[in-house]
Amino acid sequence: MATNAAQGRLAGRTALVTGAGSSGSGWGIGKAIAVACAREGARVGCLDVQLANAQETAGIIAREGGTAIALEADVTDGAQVQAAVQQVLATWERLDVLVNNVGILELGGPVEASEESWDRVMDVNLKSMFLTCKHAIPAMQAQGRGAIVNIASIAATHWTGIPYISYAASKAGAVQFTRQIALQHAKEGIRANAILPGLLDTPMVREPLKDHYADGDVDAMIAKRDQMCPTGKMGDAWDIAHAATFLASDQAKYITGTDLVVDGGITAKFA
């Protein structure tokens, strides 16, 4: 657990974290990021398409003495995203940190994947970032400062052995999207960076990939993925959460337009 929140790296800041619930039991990336932001002193808008999941995360923050609100929105819908951003501003009168974490994974290459699957993944993984930034950046411009952290993936830059072309393409798009924002808004005090997680053990990974790795055997899948990592063990949601709170803080005030790879060294094997 973090530092005294009043002295944390995000003390006095307001953060909005998308996908702040978890798609299954345990700690998903968004849930961990939201709680980590609160432990660093931020007031946190916990946004999820499932209100109950957002409420669970906000409840954890409240029980630890932090401040949070639960928000329900489909991040592929511009009107819902705008309403969520406005609710944060109405509650706390500012928005300092935006973490775009929402993401889905669907298997299939260009032949196997359906057109509907392609559109769905692109909307959730990439269009959502466009919509949140569209409505959050004006508040940051008015303040003269802001930090945006977009969760991408090493699949944006490397073949991971898994045929999920829509996921890889959407994450590659997220990386370039982040660079564009960083450069366009740098002189306005707004920073934007992407995190590229490697192999992680999170609820989002277990269900869609268990058949690909081990015919539905989750334990066997985890063992195989652990063996692929130079460290001998996959990372977890907290590894990404700690990176996100660093990039959101003033400790990263001279870091913008970059891709922070958090992968236990696995992409070094591909170089």
Residue 158 sits in a domain whose CATH number is 3.40.50.720
The answer on pLDDT for 65 being more than 90 is yes
User: pLDDT value at position 27?
Assistant: 93
Residues 234 and 223: beta-carbon distance below 8 Å: no
Distance, CA of 172 to CA of 152 (rounded, Å): 7
Q: What angle do CA 185, 16, 34 make, to 5 degrees?
A: 125
List, in order, residues 6 or more apart from 137 with CB less than 8 Å away: 146, 148, 181, 185, 190
In our burial notation (b when 16+ CB lie closer than 10 A, e otherwise), range 233-252 reads: ebbbbebbbbbbbbbbbeeb
* Residue 229 per-residue DSSP state: S
Active-site position among 164, 167, 213, 254: 167
The answer on pLDDT for 207 being more than 90 is no
Q: Residue 128 burial (CB < 10 Å; 0-12/13-18/19+)?
A: buried
Residue-range definition of the domain harbouring residue 192: 5-269
User: pLDDT value at position 266?
Assistant: 95
> Strand pairing of 146-151 and 43-48?
unpaired
Chain mean position to CA 236: 13
Distance, CA of 87 to CA of 191 (rounded, Å): 23
Phi, psi dihedral angles at 110 (to 5 degrees): -65, -25
User: pLDDT value at position 2?
Assistant: 45
Instruction: Count up the domains in the chain and report the number.
Output: 1
User: pLDDT value at position 168?
Assistant: 98
In our burial notation (b when 16+ CB lie closer than 10 A, e otherwise), range 52-61 reads: ebbbbbbebb
- What sections of the chain are H helices per DSSP? 29-39, 51-63, 78-92, 115-122, 128-143, 165-184, 203-214, 218-228, 237-248
Instruction: Decide: helix, strand or coil at residue 251.
Output: helix
User: pLDDT value at position 24?
Assistant: 66
> Strand pairing of 14-18 and 190-197?
unpaired
Task: Note the pLDDT tens digit of each residue in 166-201.
Answer: 999 999 999 999 999 999 999 999 999 999 999 999
pTM over 0.85: yes
Residue 195 β-bridge partners: 151, 260
User: pLDDT value at position 114?
Assistant: 98
Determine whether 167 is an active site residue.
yes
The answer on pLDDT for 214 being more than 70 is no
The answer on pLDDT for 164 being more than 70 is yes
Instruction: Decide: helix, strand or coil at residue 233.
Output: coil
Residues 37 and 10: beta-carbon distance below 8 Å: yes
User: pLDDT value at position 148?
Assistant: 99
Task: Note the pLDDT tens digit of each residue in 247-269.
Answer: 999 999 999 999 999 999 999 98
Residues 265 and 228: beta-carbon distance below 8 Å: no
